[in-house]
Structure 1
Amino acid sequence: MQIPNEILEYCKQTIGVPSGFSPASGGCINNGGTVKTAQGMFFIKWNDAKRFPNMFTVESKGLGLLAQTKAIKIPEVMSVYEGESYSCLILENIQASLKTSDYNSKLGEGLADIHHHSNETYGLEHTNYIGSLFQYNHPSENWPEFFYHQRIKPQVDLALSNKQLSQADADQFHLLKEKLSQLLPSEKPSLIHGDLWGGNVMTDSQGEPVLIDPAVAYSHREMDIAMTRLFGSFDQEFYDAYHSSYPLVSGFEDRLDLYNLYPVLVHVNLFGGSYRNQAMRIVLKYTK
C-alpha cells in the first residue's frame, strides 16, 4: 500500500515530509497507517473523495463530540483534507500498551458518562457514515420512529434495490414497524459511539481505553450496549461497571437482537452472504 501523491503533498504541508509509513492491518473500508515525520508519529486514513463525500469531515465532528465529554480517551484530530480525488484524516497516533487492571471498569464507566450527554431530539445535524454507508440522522422526538425511518428502512431499501433482500423480505420489515412502539422503551436521547464493537476500542500507552471510528448520533444508549455483544461480548467487568453507573431499563435482553438488526442490515449491504439470513431471523423473531 502506498500513500497517493495528492495525500503526500497534503502531509508535507501539515505534518511534514513523511520519512516512513507502516500500513495498518484489518481495515476493510479505508486505507491507513502510521506516518513518521520530523514532527512525530501520526495516523492517517484516506479514501476516494467522490465515492465517500465528506466522510472524514463528519468523522472528525463525531470524534469531537465524543472528546468533548472527556469520558474516554479519543484520538486528537490533527487535520482533515477533502481533495479532488482523495480525502484524508490525520490523527494523533495511539501507541498501544498492556491494559491496566481496571481497564474494563474504566471503559464501562466512561461509556456510561458519554451516554449521560443528551440532546432534545434523536439524530444529528448532519448525515454521517456507518462503515462506508450513509447513516441518516434526521431529528425526531420519537425513538421508535427514528429507529425505523433513520436506521432500519434506509438499509432495507438499499438491500432491496441491490437484490440482497426480496420484496417478501422487505414486507416483513413493514410488519416490524407497527410493533416498534410496543417493543422499544422511551428514554432521553444519548450521545452514542454508534459502531461499538471490539475492533473500535484500543489501548493507549498508559493502558487506558481509547475509542476510535465512531458513527455517532443522539440515539438510544442500548444500541451501543447491544453492539458490544454482536461479535462476542466485552469483558463482564465492563457491563458491571456500566450498569453500576447507568442501569439499563428492564427487558434489555429481549430487545438486544432488535437493536442489532441495524448493524446486521449494514453487513447485508456491505458483505451480503449469510447476513441476510441473520437479519431475517431477527425480524421474524419480532413479527411472529
Structure 2
Amino acid sequence: MTEPVARLTGHAVTGSRRLSGDLREATLDDERVVVAKHGHAPGAAEAEAAGLRWLAQPGVVRVPAVHGFDENWLVIDRVPDGRPSAEAAERLGRGLARLHASGAPAFGAAPPDGPADAWIGLAPMANVPGEDWASWYAEHRVLPYVRAAVDAGTFGPAEAAVFERACERFAAPAEPPARLHGDLWNGNVLWDGHEAWLIDPAAHGGHRETDLAMLHLFGCPHLDRVMAAYQEETPLADGWAARIGLHQLFPLLVHTVLFGQSYAGQAVAAARAVLEPFHRFE
C-alpha cells in the first residue's frame, strides 16, 4: 500500500495502519493523514474520484479531497473523528439543498470525466442520460436490479411483476436534474465534531428526493434538523414524504442484489406501496 500512496501523492509514507476492509490510513512525510482505498473492480476508483470532485466543485458540502487514483487505488483526505451535532446537521441540510441545485446535465449523467459504467457500493450502476425522470428511473435504476434479483433466484415472476407494474406508475414533480451524491445513507455521512462530510458517492444526475429518501431509509443523526434546514433553503414539492418509498426502491433493490432475501421483502413492499393509491380506484 505504501508504494501507490507515495506515487499518487508525491510524498513518502512515514506510517500506516489498516482501518477496515479495503481502507488503509497513511501518514505522509509532511504530516498529512490520508486514506487509501483499494478499488473492488476496474474503474471503481476512477468513478469515486470523479464523483468526489463533482460534489466538491460547488463548495457547498464537505467532501474529502482527492490526492490521486489509478486502476486499483484511490487516495483521499482522512476525515477527522467526531460526533454529530444539531448545528452541523442544519449546515448539512442547507449544503445538500445547494448541492442539488447546482444541477447536472441530465438524469443519469455521470460526473465530468467519470465513467458511464460506475458503481453503487459493490453493485454496478450504469450512468445513462435520459430526459424524463420517471422513465429513466424505471429503466436504469429499478428494472436492472429487479432482473439481477430474478437471475439470482431472489425474486420470482410474481415479485418481478409487482415492480414492472409500479414502473408504469412512476411520477414525481417536474424538476431539473439535481447533482446527487447517489448513495447517501447514514454510513456515508461522517461527522468531525463541527461539520458533516460526504464520502463514497455514486454520483450522477437524478431527482433530489432520491438522496433525501436514502437518508430516511437507514436513519441519520438529527435528520429532522437536516430536513428542516433543507426545506428552508429550497422547499420540496408538496407530497414529498409520500414519495419517499418510491425513491427508496433503488437502494432497496441494490441491497437485495448484494445481500439477498434480507432486503427482498422490504423492496417488494415498497413497490406495492407505490401501487396502493391506484388500487383504490381500480
TM-score by length of 2: 0.89
Q: Choose from 55, 61, 77 the match for 1:72.
A: 61
Matched, 1:184 2:178: no
Indicate if the aligned counterparts of 2:24 and 2:37 stay in contact, CA closer than 8 A: yes
Q: Is the 8 A contact 2:245 2:274 kept in 1?
A: no
Q: Secondary structure at the match of 2:3?
A: helix
Q: What is the DSSP-based 3-state SS (H/G/I as helix, E as strand, rest coil) of the residue aligned with 1:64? A: helix
Give the 5 Å matches for 1:46-61.
Answer: 46-48=38-40, 52-61=41-50
Q: Deviations over 1:22-78 (max 9, x none)?
A: 2224x5xxx002112323321110034xxx120010110000110001001111000
Residue 79 of structure 2 aligns with which residue?
A: 94
Shift of 1:247: 0.5
Q: How many residues align?
A: 268
Amino acid at match of 1:32: L
Cα distance in 2 for residues equivalent to 1:229 and 1:147: 19
> How far is 1:99 from its partner?
4.8
**How far is the alpha carbon of 1:20 from its aligned partner?**
2.7
* Cα distance in 1 between the residues matched to 2:178 and 2:136: 13
Q: Which amino acid aligns with 1:107?
A: L
Q: Deviations over 1:177-199 (max 9, x none)?
A: 2111xx32221110011111111
Do residues 20 (structure 1) and 10 (structure 2) align? no
Residue type matched to 1:203 in 2?
W
1:187-226 map, 5 Å: 187-204=175-192, 207-226=194-213
Amino acid at match of 1:12: A
Amino acid at match of 1:24: L
Q: Shift of the alpha carbon at 1:144?
A: 0.2
1:224-258 Cα deviation digits (max 9, x unpaired): 11111101244111111000001110111211111
* Equivalent pair of 1:120/1:141 in contact (CA under 8 Å): no
Q: What is aligned with 2:256?
A: 268
- Aligned runs of 1:1-288 on 2, under 5 Å? 7-15=1-9, 16-25=11-20, 31-40=22-31, 41-48=33-40, 52-82=41-71, 87-99=72-84, 102-125=87-110, 126-180=116-170, 183-204=171-192, 207-235=194-222, 236-287=224-275, 288=279
Check the 8 A contact 1:108/1:241 in 2, yes or no: yes
Report the CA distance shift for 1:248/1:234 in structure 2 as closer, same or farther (over 3 A). Answer: farther
- Deviation of 1:110 (Å): 0.4
8 Å contact kept, 1:96–1:207: no
**1: distance between equivalents of 2:271 and 2:86?**
39
Structure 1 stretches lacking a partner, 5+ long: 1-6
Query: Could you tell me whether the CA contact under 8 Å between 1:17 and 1:38 is conserved in 2?
Result: yes
**SS of residue matched to 2:27:** strand
Report percent identity of matched pairs.
31
Question: Which structure 1 residue ranges, 4+ long, deviate > 6 Å from structure 2?
Answer: none
The residue identity in structure 2 corresponding to 1:240 is: A
Contact kept in structure 2, 1:59 and 1:214, CA below 8 Å = yes
